[in-house]
Structure 1
Amino acid sequence: MKGQEWYQADTVAEEYESKRFSRGGRLIDRREKQAVLDAIGPVDEKKVLEVACGTGRFTVMLAERGADITGLDISGPMLQQGREKARAADVDDHVEFMRGDAARLPFPDNHFDTVLAMRFFHLADTPAAFLAEMRRVAKEQVFFDTFNRFSTRSLYNWALPMGSRLYSRWEIDRLLDGAGLELAEEDHDWVLPYGFYRKMPNELAASIRSIDTAIGGTPLGDKLASVSYWNTHV
């Protein structure tokens, strides 16, 4: 997986959210959380797995809404941040954090109602294998996001030291077919890439985001979007 050693560093885990989801990054955090909630719907008493849960942004949010959730990640320091967050939110009895490999999920077939992975597939070196594992342990639903190949993300990606894996619509269709998943809903957003917003004060980012959203609402919006959310059913 791209950036694996970097991702597992203690300092990266400690600063991960403050660097990505402060300032204009708060807009990204809110939009991603809304995308998850819109796709999954009511989660009370649902059995959920979050793959590559990181610091537990979504894990804790879903636990607060009544989900019985497991967060799996390869990084011990990231998981520790998640555990501290769950304790602070008083939901640690609804959450289990596990260190593990997303390519070999340590669960039986059809074990979870819903399996989700956010901010993961842009780092995946073997996306088909990862998605097949998510499908294997899901009983009803698999939800994930991707960065899009034919978008402003491609320019931003060029400047990044690690880069990101970008996906065309054809590649997504092929991945879903290979995993035996049926696309139920799709949503496309962010004409400007995420990194653009993280550099701005929140007020300026909000103004730019209004323009971004207006462009996204035009007939060209989906084609220009740099991020896609894929809600699939087993």
Structure 2
Amino acid sequence: MKGQEWYQADDVAEEYDDKRFSRGGQLIDRREKKAVLEAIMPIEGQNILEIACGTGRFTVMLAEHGADVVGLDISAAMLQQGRTKAQNKTLEGTLEFLRGDAGRLPFPDDHFDTVIAMRFFHLADDPEAFLEEMRRVSRDQIVFDTFNRFSARSIYNWALPMGSRLYSKSEVSVLLAKTNLTLIDVEDDFIAPYGLYRAIPNKLASPIRTLDKTIGKLPVSDHLASVSYWNTRVR
């Protein structure tokens, strides 16, 4: 997977949430969490795995809503941030953080109701193999996001420390067919790139976001959106 060493650095983990989800990045955080919650409702009582859970943004949120959640990540530093975050929350479900490789998940077949992977596939060197492994341990649902090839994301993609894999809709459709997953829904969002939101204060980012969502309602916007949220079922 791309960027393994970079993500495992202590200083990167400590600054990760602040750099990405403060300022205008709060709007990104809010939208991503909304996408996950809407895809897997009702949450209470579900057994959920998040791979590449990072600092636990989604794992903690899901446990707060009553799910029994395992967050898996290759970075011990990221996992420690997640454990610290969970200490200050009231959890209705259970939460476990586990260090491991998303390409070799340490769970039996059909072990979880739902598997999610957010901010992961742009780093995957073999997306089909990773998706197949996710399918193996899920008995019902897989939710993930991808960054889109024909979008503003491509403008600054070269500046990322480990690069980024961008996908076309047709490429993801082929991946779903190869791994025997049925598409339930896909949502596209963020015409303006993530980097713009992160670079400016929230009060300036909010009107841009309003304009972004307005443009996003137009049919042509599906081909310009930076990110797609995929909700799939195991056949």
TM-score (norm 2): 0.97
Over the aligned positions, Cα root-mean-square deviation in angstroms equals: 1.1
Cα deviation digits, residues 105-136 of structure 1 (max 9, x gap): 00001100000000000011111110000000
Corresponding residue SS for 1:143 = strand
Cα deviation digits, residues 175-225 of structure 1 (max 9, x gap): 111111000000000001111100001010001111111110111121110
Corresponding residue SS for 2:109 = coil
| Cross-structure match for 2:167 | 167
Amino acid at match of 2:75: S
| Cross-structure match for 2:157 | 157
| Cross-structure match for 2:8 | 8
Structure 2 residue 106 is the aligned partner of structure 1 residue 106? yes
Corresponding residue SS for 2:69 = strand
**Aligned residues with identical type, % of pairs:** 67
Equivalent-residue separation in structure 2 for 1:132 and 1:200 (angstroms): 38
Unaligned runs of 5+ residues in structure 2 are none
Cα deviation digits, residues 127-172 of structure 1 (max 9, x gap): 1110000000001100000000011111121333422100011110
Q: How does 1:110-149 map to 2 (within 5 A)?
A: 110-149=110-149
Aligned residues: 234
TM-score (norm 1): 0.98
Report if the CA contact (8 A) 2:65-2:92 is conserved.
Answer: no
Corresponding residue SS for 1:125 = coil
Equivalent-residue separation in structure 2 for 1:161 and 1:97 (angstroms): 26
Report if the CA contact (8 A) 1:44-1:66 is conserved.
Answer: yes
| Cross-structure match for 1:59 | 59
Amino acid at match of 1:205: A
Report if the CA contact (8 A) 2:67-2:92 is conserved.
Answer: no
Runs of 4+ with deviation above 4 angstroms: none
Equivalent-residue separation in structure 1 for 2:210 and 2:124 (angstroms): 31
